[in-house]
């Protein structure tokens, strides 16, 4: 199917128990026109906060504009936990799965979707890594992805 540059595509995601589910309405990247795309930007984060929250050596999220994200009408409402560093993570009260996160500065602009909650996560491979200075010594760089030692360089 060919899509016009403004036709939206629906992407779904959910928690483990399926009580909390969401929809993304995205404009796919057109060949030669990445500026009109609202496709998620997936990145790995090696900061201590993400490592702790994800329970592994990095966090993996897909950044989307808040206007392109919504919890479905028949979804349970997520619970929220705000860390001391200002990051809020939304999760399912029943199964405990994290669904999204955002910092104070991004709260009204973006949602960082937990990559594994997307129904088709492989469609959005990582484009970069943040806090590479904290990357586990045994973990290789992601080929073809940008590498940042901090969040801003």
User: What are the tens digits of pLDDT across the range 117-127?
Assistant: 999 999 999 99
Contact partners, residue 100, CB within 8 Å, separation at least 6: 22, 69, 78, 89, 90, 111, 112, 113, 114
More confident: 7 or 11:
11
- pLDDT of 1 > 90? The answer is no
Residues linked to residue 113 through DSSP beta bridges, in sequence order: 62, 100
When pLDDT is averaged across residues 135-143 and rounded to a whole number, the result is 94
* Distance from C-alpha of 71 to C-alpha of 125, rounded to nearest angstrom: 23
Place 3 in a pLDDT band, splitting at 50, 70 and 90: very low
């Amino acid at each position: 199917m060919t899509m016009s540059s403004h036709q939206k595509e629906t992407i779904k995601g959910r928690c483990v128990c399926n009580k909390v589910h969401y929809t993304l309405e995205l404009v796919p990247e057109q060949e030669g026109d990445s500026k009109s795309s609202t496709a998620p930007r997936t990145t790995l984060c090696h900061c201590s906060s993400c490592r702790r929250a994800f329970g592994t050596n990095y966090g993996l999220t897909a950044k989307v504009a808040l206007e392109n994200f919504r919890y479905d009408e028949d979804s349970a409402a997520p619970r929220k936990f705000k860390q001391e560093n200002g990051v809020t993570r939304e999760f399912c009260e029943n199964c405990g799965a994290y669904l999204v996160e955002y910092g104070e500065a991004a709260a009204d602009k973006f949602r960082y979707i937990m990559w594994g909650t997307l129904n088709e996560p492989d469609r959005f491979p990582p484009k970069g890594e943040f806090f590479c200075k904290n990357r586990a010594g045994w973990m290789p760089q992601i080929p073809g992805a940008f590498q940042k030692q901090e969040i801003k360089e």
